[in-house]
Structure 1
């Protein structure tokens, strides 16, 4: 044991001498606190690394941010089709300076030429367009305007965040007979929504600003969206946005459209088999006036033939 202890003590002395020569002693005063801190900073603790990872910046969405932003005006105009698939939506540019020249764009909006004849009308009151056989509305733009729509606000001065300019007086491009005798300030350009203007006496849907934020508007063709497109399409304009708009109409009020079937289902559930005047007070109480108004904005109303077919499907 004595020999073993002697070797152990000798090894301790040798190791201590080696540490002293390498300047790595734990109590060596030459190992400064500054040097120690430099090593510590270079190798952060695991806990610190985890905190940095958790708090690292996340990817943000300009579309969601813009959609949540409060629009400059807040009239509720109509219900747009929130079920549009991303493949059918136009690409919405970021909030940067528009690449389109505003003056050239305004000229393009108002300088289109007639490319198709007026629609024909069948015995059920549906309109037919030769260029788009599946598009069969039963309300004309003039009827939608005169019967009362969009709370009277559709053609109000509109500030476009995308274009960074205010659009005014574009209602004047409408055929004169469509607005003859109307109170323009009440039926077309009111700054605030007036539900009493609407055919069914209720406000419904989203604002044009919200449609723009959602990417539903193609500014190259129609800065106000669906109904402005329909007015121009009715008059004979054809443009690259036609198929998209017709597809949206089909999903809303086409033969299998969402709002059309919801409305007809309401008739069946309330036992209503006859359409004598779909705007009368009795039906307003029994079937949602908001859905009626929504369909009206999309150029469709319940007709007897459509109601009869739906009853047959339900029985």
Structure 2
């Protein structure tokens, strides 16, 4: 009996050791906006769920959607606009959870600007990717024009040099850098607070992963949302230690600023997450985003069935409440 037990135990260990790791690829270098995933890793929540998770960083030269299609990631950190649009090319990417209940995309202006409408008289720095996402919506909503724009090169120096310039940014990035450089907080307009509907920092998986590893996806989503709860409502130090290990350029000041904005703006714990749980996504929100893309001719409804671009299966009964 002892020998048989030893054989069985050895087989179990061998099976666990040979199980493929579950790879989650982020959209950028490690930062506070990724904190819940790192917290789940640091606190052993993935291991408790029976997973061997590898969190890998994205970056400016990494096309994370292509990486997933090539089988180098099971799921990626996605964004509704892109996830819906890739279906036009026959890429079956599916959103299974939405960490950010509001997109942290912002317009940053000098402190003298009081309202979004005031930006009609300013030069706006807008990036190429933004021109096929929120820019058409902004133009229609506020009367902005292409003629008032210049390309945004992910550098705040033009903004610092010209008080007539406003620019796109990310809630916990450009505003922080500008405040550090000038000693004054800029005026920040969070697009989501003005009606921009997409979720952000989502968990997006390939159709293949959902077919072949549904239990692992469910376990990953649950452990990740528990990680986000711990990160934002507990001690974030474990996550920050791993973030700085992956991204040595990350500073304690920026991490503190980032987590502070996630909390104060209700990015993760606000909206539907407050009552339905962290990571929740709804049919109504996904339809609102899709309808907006159709309205601004950013997506072809003849090629994309919005109902195939996401599933609520993994979050509808999760209820990881703040």
Q: Which TM class, normalised by the smaller chain length?
A: under 0.3
Q: Report the TM-score, using the length of structure 2 for normalisation.
A: 0.22
Structure having the higher Rg: 1
Task: Please identify which structure carries the higher strand content.
Answer: 2
| Larger RCO: 1 or 2 (CA < 8 Å, sep 6+) | 2
Q: Report the TM-score, using the length of structure 1 for normalisation.
A: 0.23
